[in-house]
């Protein structure tokens, strides 16, 4: 996976034994970080700098807690927004800053969700956070374009989904329109965030 590249991956500090084992197996670098914390994201990008110039970032941290809107607590709201929205914002911002300082093009990819396009029961806040991520990616791509920074989000796509009415049977509703995250009218617009890629000439 890391041939010709240095790949820096991250996960929560408490999961470091697991991610370090995977890093050793695949030849990557492991860093413990909580992307919802600005200081952790800064430390993550500092660690990536030691592996060479940043060429791309992938943000895929996320958390889901199911509850109907009427049952969602402010604490649940804060946790879902902190990880799913704020975490992606912090990683995208850090990637933009690093690439602009370097003065060279790069790519950022953000993993979103079908929930950002379709509201599903018991997932109102998660869906709202993912919809906000989609908008954030669009703006980041427009801002990054003049600097050669491509930003794109990946969102799951389905032709149909199962909609469960609270008091009725499940029905299948077709969804014919493509995901707006699947591509872009502007070829300079892409997007990604928690792996960091740097090319290295030492690896063969």
- Residue of higher predicted confidence among 47 and 183: 47
42-62 mean pLDDT: 89
- Candidates 68, 126, 147, 161; catalytic one: 126
- Residue of higher predicted confidence among 179 and 21: 21
Q: Exposed (0-12), middle (13-18) or buried (19+): which is 32, by Cβ within 10 Å?
A: middle
CATH 3.40.1620.10 fits 5-199, yes or no: no
Q: Where are the domains of the chain?
A: 5-199
- Give the pLDDT of residue 157: 55
Above 50 in pLDDT, residue 9? yes
Query: Could you tell me the pLDDT band of residue 4, with boundaries at 50, 70 and 90?
Result: low
To the query of whether residue 126 is one of the catalytic residues in this protein, the response is yes
Query: Could you tell me the pLDDT band of residue 168, with boundaries at 50, 70 and 90?
Result: very low
User: Considering the entire predicted model, what is its pTM?
Assistant: 0.75
């Amino acid at each position: 996976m890391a041939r010709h590249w240095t790949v820096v991956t991250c996960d929560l500090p408490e999961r470091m034994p697991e991610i370090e084992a995977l890093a050793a197996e695949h030849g990557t670098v492991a860093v413990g970080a909580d992307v919802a914390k600005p200081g952790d994201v800064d430390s993550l990008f500092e660690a990536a700098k030691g592996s060479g110039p940043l060429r791309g970032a992938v943000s895929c941290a996320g958390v889901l807690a199911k509850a109907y809107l009427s049952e969602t607590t402010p604490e649940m709201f804060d946790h879902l927004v902190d990880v799913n929205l704020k975490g992606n914002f912090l990683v995208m911002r850090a990637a933009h800053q690093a690439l602009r300082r370097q003065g060279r093009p790069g790519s950022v990819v953000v993993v979103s969700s079908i929930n950002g396009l379709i509201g599903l029961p018991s997932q109102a806040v998660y869906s709202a956070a993912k919809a906000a991520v989609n908008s954030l990616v669009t703006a980041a791509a427009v801002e990054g374009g003049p600097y050669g920074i491509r930003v794109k989000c990946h969102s799951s796509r389905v032709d149909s989904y199962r909609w469960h009415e609270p008091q009725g049977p499940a029905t299948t509703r077709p969804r014919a329109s493509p995901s707006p995250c699947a591509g872009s009218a502007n070829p300079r617009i892409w997007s990604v965030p928690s792996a960091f890629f740097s090319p290295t000439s030492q690896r063969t």
